Amino acid sequence: MAIHIDGKTKLCALLGNPVEHTLSPAIHNFLADQLGIPLVYVAFGVERAELEDAVRGGLALGILGFNVTVPFKQSVMSCLTGLEDGARAIGAVNTLVRSDQGFCGYNTDWIGLKRLLFHADISLQGRTVVLLGAGGEAWAAAYVCGCEKAEKLYILNRTREKAVVLAERMHTQFPSMECCALEMNEWTKMEESGLIALQATSVGLWPHTDCAPIEDVKFYQRLDAAVDMIYKPEETLFMRLAADAGAKTANGLNMLLYQAVAAFELWVGRKVEPSVVSRAKDMLKQEIGFQRNE
């Protein structure tokens, strides 16, 4: 891909620290190239004390939009002129969109997960969901459960207090969704089967691929579907245990892809066609080191 840059080329960028291993430039530059949009995307590693200057500088330089990653997803909120509802409910921003007054904050992680579920043909409506984890991505996942009208949400986390905070916030946000916080090893207290599990801990992430947050096969026998937000390895131990117990499984690659597509669509004000998304997914698999065809 030869990038043509001239005086009309727009810039989008990632703010984070570290940023060396991000896949965002690969995705966004690919989308811009495929759609013939004069846009270049780069990654900026920023010091915490300079975040506000970076955002203000972006505004002055005419930067069209930013992605924001660890560790700035919360702290960037004080640099913004507005917040979209999802970002406010989740308490984290991963996308900044330029407006006349300044940058507006969005969260497209939840949109990425919602689109992943749609493409995997997994509906949360009226279902009991078990969410593993209570970190940043778990907040996005819990928000999706509320938006998609899950009936009941179990939040299991190593640190129970964090699960309690998330459960309370989600129950306030979505009063009709029953929310229940447990420690990870208290999964036996759940009475239901036919569960949909969303795995949002970092357990099992490459290169530590031989572990899962719960390893008892009896847990997996309760599942109808299991989604791991991890995308490397392609099949985590969590997914393998779920598949062995007969559950439908999906990894987090589509979440990564669709959160980027949603951000790109916000910046350029147009939809990315499914054929382009599909080619972007092939490119992404190669970048991550997967086989081209699953």
Q: Are 284 and 23 in contact (CB under 8 A)?
A: yes
> Which residue's Cβ lies closest to ligand NAP?
135
What CA–CA distance (Å, rounded) separates 85 from 75? 17
Least CB distance to ligand NAP at residue 155 (A): 9
Site for ligand NAP in 56-85 (CB under 6 A): none
With H, G, I as helix, E, B as strand and everything else as coil, classify residue 134.
Answer: coil
Least CB distance to ligand NAP at residue 135 (A): 2
Q: Output 12 or 214, the one with its CB closest to ligand NAP.
A: 214
Type and span of the H or E element at 11: strand 10-16
Going residue by residue from 139 to 168, which x/- string records binding to ligand NAP, judged by CB under 6 A? ------------------xxx--x------
Least CB distance to ligand NAP at residue 232 (A): 8
Question: Which residue in 223, 37, 61 sits closest to 132, CA to CA?
Answer: 223
Q: Provide the greatest CA pair distance for the chain.
A: 62
With H, G, I as helix, E, B as strand and everything else as coil, classify residue 104.
Answer: strand
- Which of 40, 205, 243, 276 forms a contact with ligand NAP (CB under 6 A)? 205
Question: Which residue in 35, 6, 89, 19 sits closest to 267, CA to CA?
Answer: 35
Set 8, 10, 73, 114: catalytic member:
73
- Under the binding rule (CB under 6 A), the answer on residue 213 touching ligand NAP is yes
Question: Catalytic residue at 10?
Answer: no
- Under the binding rule (CB under 6 A), the answer on residue 278 touching ligand NAP is no
What CA–CA distance (Å, rounded) separates 88 from 109? 13
- Under the binding rule (CB under 6 A), the answer on residue 134 touching ligand NAP is yes
Q: Output 98 or 170, the one with its CB closest to ligand NAP.
A: 170
Q: Determine the interface stretch with ligand NAP among 45-53, 119-127, 131-139, 240-248 (rule: CB under 6 A).
A: 131-139
Query: Concatenated DSSP letters for 201-259?
Result: SSTT-TT-TT--S---HHHHTTEEEEEES--SSSS-HHHHHHHHTT-EEE-THHHHHHH
Enumerate the active-site residues: 73
* Contact set with ligand NAP (CB under 6 A): 112, 133-138, 157-159, 162, 184, 200-203, 205, 213, 229-231, 252, 255-256, 259
